[in-house]
Amino acid sequence: MRVITVAGPPSVGKTSLILKLAKTLREEGQKLAVVKFDCLSTDDDLLYRREKIPVAAGLAGSVCPDHFFVSNIDDCLQWAQDIGADLLIAESAGLCNRCSPHVQGALAVCVVDNLSGVHTPKKIGPMLKMADVVAITKGDIVSQAEREVFAHNVWRANPQAQIVAFNGLTGQGAGELAFHMRGAPDIETLEGRRLRFPMPSAICSYCIGETCIGENHQRGNVRKMRFPEVLA
Amino acid sequence: MSAHMSPANLSLRLDEAQRLNPAFATLIGPTPKPDLSLADWLASLDSGDLDRLKFSRVELEAHLLALIQDAQGFRNPVTRIKSLRILGGRDKTGAAENLDLDLRPGAIVSVVGPTGSGKSRLLGDIECLAQGDTPSGRRILIDGEIPDPARRWAASGKLVAQLSQNMNFVVDLTVGDFVEMHAECRAVDNPEQAAAEVIACANQLAGEKFSAATSLTQLSGGQSRALMIADVALLSTSPIVLIDEIENAGINRRQALDLLVASDKIVLMSTHDPILALHAHKRIVIAAGAVLEVIETSDTERAHLATLEHYDRLMSELRENLRHGARLETLPLPFGSLE
């Protein structure tokens, strides 16, 4: 079983990319299963069902979406194995730019879009920096120059990644992504494997339901901005 | 991870590495001991430093070595090709397409055919260097060879630049700052001068002038198209340019094509515009998903071009006059003579 993590900021076209890719994989005779991680709600599972792709949807609800992901991903792998899938794509939405769901030894894909501006690649953290493949969407509506600058900035942020231009409307780029996925490592279980980057250290009062603002309510692992140093 | 790097680079001093690649300096930020070797510096980082840099130690090392390697010229060479060969696939009914077309740098080819006939598919096949794996079944050879899969995918983004009617500038920067940024990506010696050349060139193509201080998002459609073409001709590394229907762009089309030819690129443009179609050396006629014919532009056709351009100029003049508030009570010759 090959496991692929697909992560990216909201609305970059992760689901469109996976749907187009699914068509290419199906033509190659590969059986795909998808797990969609989201925060509060998702309708994307319906899109996958409509294409007859086995899908599990996980909503983090009140739990940090990254922690929810890592606590459940191995169960998802077992499920995908049980239904006889050749590969499992874990689509993560709702991650902050500080985080990354990428696991050592599993193919890591980050999706970003050209519309987000040429400075975005350096603002996205480990999700992009630690990906094996970076797919750049929405290139059909921006200038060639911006595409080149954007791709260059992605490369600066992650010089080791394969950069793939992907058109979510036509599916152009799906063949290339499928090529990279054929090379993804085979995995029996994720048990004992490590995240490529640790999740934020936390456990403060707000993690466990505190809603009130003020020094008296801040306990545990709290980091304060120091004035006037932060103005420098 | 691709572990193809020289460990010798680990003994580079931080200040040496920073000089090699500005991206290195941006990434590690100010450093109190610039004379440390990269290896010693990496060893000195604690978990707080790594958290700030948003990398694990292993990843950071691989990442920095990749940046150094790039600066040493192992990657990103300018892509040059000698030929682009398009081999036929099949039409929409599955019948074989009779096509073997070899294009060399400097070639201008138009792609004509009714809407929905498959012009964009042909451009798409070239963009992804199709190998019988797209709906058309076409195959694309570079320098006479089938690119092996790894090279195919590594090359596809670099070989082909695209321009289309739907494309816009979306970044919130001035023209000058942005074009300079693009020039810096290309590591040209003098980005400021390169940007000035692109802007001057775009101004020759566009009807209305703009300056380096103009905001990109304020450019008119014609100005945007002019800047995109000048930029592709002068700054893009890609040896192949695909143009999708830019006829209504309000730019000097002939100059635009001359500019692309002068930059020694292979240009394919899908078009409904007779002037653009006849300016090409060849035109590919598409129907029902396949190439029907490849026509060399004849001398007679080229001679007609002068007449067509004459009428085109008259239409432009009319357009300009109306735009400036003129009335059109009497039609000028030759339009008037037709009534």
Q: How confident is the model at residue B4 (pLDDT cuts 50, 70, 90)?
A: very low
- Classify A96 as helix, strand or coil: coil
**β-strand partners of A91:** A6, A36
Is a pLDDT exceeding 70 seen at residue B8? yes
What local confidence, expressed as pLDDT, does residue A222 receive?
A: 87
Distance from CA of B318 to the nearest CA of A (A): 31
Give pLDDT, residue B191. 87
Q: What band does B3 get if pLDDT is binned at 50, 70 and 90?
A: very low
CA quadruple B224, B228, B229, B233: dihedral sign: positive
Residue B221 has pLDDT above 80, yes or no: yes
Q: What is the mean pLDDT of residues B189-213?
A: 91
- Which pLDDT value is given to residue B59? 76
Q: Do A126 and B54 make contact, defined as CB atoms within 8 angstroms?
A: yes
Residues of B in contact with A151 (CB under 8 A): 157
Would you list the domain boundaries of chain A?
2-182, 201-232
Rounded distance between C-alpha atoms, residue A139 and residue A111, angstroms = 12
CB-based contacts of A45, cutoff 8 Å, min separation 6:
A36, A55, A56, A57
In chain B, the percentage of residues whose pLDDT exceeds 90 is 39
Identify all chain B residues contacting A172, using CB atoms and an 8 Å cutoff. Answer: 124, 127-128
d(CA B41, CA B35): 9
Q: At what angle do helices A144-157 and B175-185 cross, to 10 degrees?
A: 50
Q: Over 50: is that where the pLDDT of B152 sits? A: yes
| CATH fold group of domain A2-182 | Rossmann fold (3.40.50)
**pLDDT the model gives residue B72:** 67
Contact between A15 and A115 under an 8 Å Cβ cutoff? The reply is no
Strands B100-103 and B266-270: unpaired
> How far is CA A1 from its chain centroid?
19
pLDDT at B5 over 50: no
pLDDT, tens digit, 9 for 90 and up, residues B278-320: 999 999 999 999 999 999 999 999 999 889 988 888 888 888 8
> B100-103 and B84-87 as β-strands: parallel, antiparallel, unpaired?
antiparallel
Output the tens digit of pLDDT for each of chain A's 232 residues. Answer: 999 999 999 899 999 999 999 999 998 899 999 999 988 888 888 999 999 999 999 998 888 888 899 999 999 999 999 999 999 999 987 677 778 899 999 999 999 999 988 889 988 888 999 999 999 999 988 988 899 899 989 988 898 899 999 999 988 889 889 999 998 999 999 999 999 888 877 778 888 888 999 999 998 888 888 888 888 7
- Per the CB < 8 A criterion, the answer to whether A115 and A138 are in contact is yes
- Per-residue pLDDT at B145 exceeds 60: yes
In this predicted structure, what is the pLDDT of residue A172?
86
**Helices B221-234 and A144-157: angle between axes, nearest 10 degrees:** 60
- Looking at residue B96, its pLDDT comes to 95
In one-letter notation, the amino acid at residue A13 is G
CA–CA dist B99, B93 (Å, integer): 16
A159/B66 touch (CB, cutoff 8 Å), yes or no: yes
Between A and B, how many CB-CB pairs are < 8 A?
A: 111
- The H-assigned helical ranges of chain B are 14-20, 22-28, 38-44, 47-53, 57-71, 119-127, 149-159, 175-185, 191-205, 221-234, 253-262, 274-279, 299-323
**Which chain B residues are within 8 Å of A176, Cβ to Cβ?**
128, 153, 156
Instruction: Name the helix (H) or strand (E) containing A108.
Output: strand A107-113
Judged by CB atoms closer than 8 Å, whether chains meet at A140 and B161 is answered as: no
User: What confidence score (pLDDT) does residue B1 get?
Assistant: 38
Cβ-contact A106, A187 below 8 angstroms: yes
Would you state the pLDDT for residue B23? 75
Whole-angstrom distance, CA of residue B273 vs CA of residue B277: 6
